[in-house]
Structure 1
């Protein structure tokens, strides 16, 4: 058998097989909460989806759908004035959340762990993941009446 023909055939078959795997992975990663046990998933450096709309009084559930540890941490200055601050770990403000994470990884969500928060005030709430903030792991919740 001609070695070049064989290698070309094997390479094409392998590429086709990998292409199928990568497209399946993309489907899984684009909607990690399709099973209904969460609203927002987390991959290595993204909230999925990164923007989510709810009504006043709704509870949002985040689920760490990756193998990396993550946090859900509101930006103090980027939530409505009357709104309650939220962060995995139950911290009162962004500084406390930072200190807890950098001290003993406080507020961290391990793989498959969840965090939930009920939104009582309309407006836009911006949040982030402390260990992946530099990678721009941010999201927003838009709460309507």
Structure 2
């Protein structure tokens, strides 16, 4: 084998091995990892909402739970999304909720894109007060809105 061929073989082998070391986690979780996260989320929560594209929606858009129960959200989308309560869309006695753990709707809006859930990330919230809770995704508010109905059982 000539010196040039040995060099090219070594370069090609190194490139192949280097690429083989790449995994899907570099570009986000694999479908198998997402399935495991969805399953774990379902086991820990009373309702699960998925954030999906290309329509930028919460699925389901409305969930109904009892007081003291928890909802989990998972980003199954290719873009970052938030879960942000409308301050005037939750019961007066209720605790405001948002990804990023901001204290107000304004703070969550101002901090965006901080507070985004990236692909495969989750968020959970326990609802202690009966009533309707309207929420939205900060960057996709025109189409991405949802409601949690909490019943006093």
**TM score, norm. by length of structure 1:** 0.72
Match of 1:75? 86
Query: 1:46-86: CA deviations, max 9, x gaps?
Result: 00000000100001100001111000000010100000000
Report the Cα offset of residue 37 of structure 1: 2.7
Q: Trace 1:78-97 onto structure 2 (pairs within 5 A).
A: 78-97=89-108
Contact 2:86 2:105 in 1 (8 A): yes
Which has more radius of gyration? 2
CA RMSD in angstroms comes to: 1.6
Structure 1, unaligned runs of 5 or more: 1-31
Residue by residue over 1:25-50, the C-alpha shift from the partner in whole angstroms, topping out at 9 and shown as x without a partner, is: xxxxxxx9974634000112100000
User: Partner residue of 1:43?
Assistant: 52
Counterpart selection for 1:137 from 141, 144, 153:
144
Aligned residue-pair number: 110
Structure 2 stretches of 5 or more lacking a match?
A: 1-34, 43-47
